[in-house]
Amino acid sequence: MKVKVYSTEQCPYCHMAKDYLAAKGVPFDDINVGEDRDAANEMIEKSGQMGVPVLDIGGDIIVGFDVPRIDAALAKGTSAKPRKVKVDALKKIYDAIVIGGSAAGLTAAMYASRRNLKTLVIAKDVGGQISVIKSIENYPGFEQVQGSDLVKSMKAQAEKSGAEIVERDAVELNEAEGDGGQKLFVVKACGGDKCEEHLCKMVILAMGKTPRSLGVPGEEGMIGRGVSYCVTCDAPLFKGKDVAVVGGGNSAIDAALVLSPLARKVYIVHRRGEFRAFEHAIAAAKGRKNVEFVLDSLVTAVSGKKFVESISVENKKTGKKSELKVEGVFVEIGSDVNTKFVSHLVELDENGQVKTGKNGETSHAGIFAAGDVTDTPFKQIVVAAGDGCKAALSAYNHVHGFESRYMVDWSKQNSNK
């Protein structure tokens, strides 16, 4: 696969991209567009950009040092061969392995088990981000529920339905072939200094998405006590209060627009002087009287006793330090998905999310996906749970060779029906 990197000598992101490719052992042509005008024109024609770096990976054009897109493009040029495994060497062949143990994964495990599929859940952290949410007010059936309580109920329900749950980190997923030529998948899961391999007929990817944190003093201790990563979940709790939104993309501006009618004051703290959000959204935020922009600035600390009371801010240009009295901090600086270990098997979008069909199917037969790890635009607990249900029922159809059809499951169902 041909790889080209259009760069300039002075660009730090160009060096980062080239170092990343080199570390992965990927050969590439380094094209200095600062010295080669024809190459610069070629780059502009390919990408529509007049900035570097631009990567051409087998015809996929990537602007900037975008690791998920680089990995996805590189994965297209690889073909993973099924591993031959000795089925007798492993204790079980599961019908389904669910990777991830939050709303999507636990719901998928429950539905798969209720369909009499032998199901294993592999999750590094059962509950994930839900576990640290102090108050959830938009999950159907509950006016208010603690995240840890909701996770506890979901886990118990999945186990009561027959699912096994192990708290390990899934690090590898490959195709496998049993002794009789049976097509299988093998999942390698590690915890501590021990790794195990598990065989299955189908896989449901439900690893979720991890919001990026600020990484500043006081942040972690105030999660659920004023620090939030979900404006849709928590905005109503801050009526009449002063809050800060940290970020400069569409999610940050959208968060400010959601908070503005509720909060007394909304600060938007952004490390740059310009935003990456859509112009119409920025204009809408500027039109709100209670929204104030704090630009070229970084949040350096979150302070408070029981709850958030203020944030420390430093202006990058002037070095001036200040304190904003706020009771809420909404961190909107993007999220990370851990899909690198499956990128050789399933198609990912430009953000590294798993592409899915309407019933949770992926580009690879036998692999399904649900929840925040997918390309659904709605990152909500109830959406993830619904996705998990669909993926599990689709997996059931797959293992039995059924076409997608109407399925009832509000009482115990016989798997042969």
Highest mean pLDDT among 23-27, 180-184, 352-356: 352-356
**Range from 25-39, 66-80, 216-230 carrying the lowest mean pLDDT:** 66-80
Query: Domain 212-334 is in which class?
Result: alpha beta
**Under a CB-based contact definition with an 8 Å cutoff, are residues 203 and 173 in contact?**
yes
Residue 153: which of 175, 131, 168 has the closest Cα?
131
What global pTM score does this model have?
0.63
Query: Domain 3-76 is in which class?
Result: alpha beta
Cα–Cα distance measured from residue 405 to residue 168, given in angstroms and rounded to the nearest whole number? 34
**Under a CB-based contact definition with an 8 Å cutoff, are residues 180 and 86 in contact?**
no
Q: What angle do CA 376, 379, 385 make, to 5 degrees?
A: 85
Domain with CATH 3.40.30.10 in the chain: 3-76
pLDDT tens track for 298-342: 999 999 999 999 999 999 999 999 999 999 999 998 777 888 889
Please give the positions annotated as active site: 230, 233-234
pLDDT tens track for 258-295: 999 999 999 999 999 988 888 898 999 999 999 999 99
Architecture of domain 83-209+337-400: 3-Layer(bba) Sandwich (3.50)
Task: Name the 3-class secondary structure at 229.
Answer: coil
Residue 112: which of 207, 209, 200, 208 has the closest Cα?
200
Cα–Cα distance measured from residue 398 to residue 105, given in angstroms and rounded to the nearest whole number? 18
The residues near 114 (Cβ < 8 Å, ≥ 6 apart) are: 161, 162, 409, 412, 413
Give yes or no for residue 404 having a pLDDT over 70: no
Hey, what long-range contacts does 297-300 have (CB within 8 A, 24 or more apart)? 297/269, 297/270, 297/271, 298/269, 298/271, 299/214, 299/216, 299/244, 299/246, 299/269, 299/329, 300/216, 300/217
Highest mean pLDDT among 41-45, 145-149, 391-395: 391-395
Domain with CATH 3.50.50.60 in the chain: 83-209+337-400, 212-334
**Under a CB-based contact definition with an 8 Å cutoff, are residues 326 and 343 in contact?**
no
Cα distances (Å, whole numbers) of residue 273 to 56, 111, 243, 284, 298: 30, 49, 20, 17, 12
pLDDT tens track for 342-386: 988 999 888 889 999 999 999 999 999 999 999 998 888 999 999
**Under a CB-based contact definition with an 8 Å cutoff, are residues 313 and 228 in contact?**
no
Residue 168: which of 147, 204, 132, 193 has the closest Cα?
193
**Under a CB-based contact definition with an 8 Å cutoff, are residues 250 and 281 in contact?**
yes
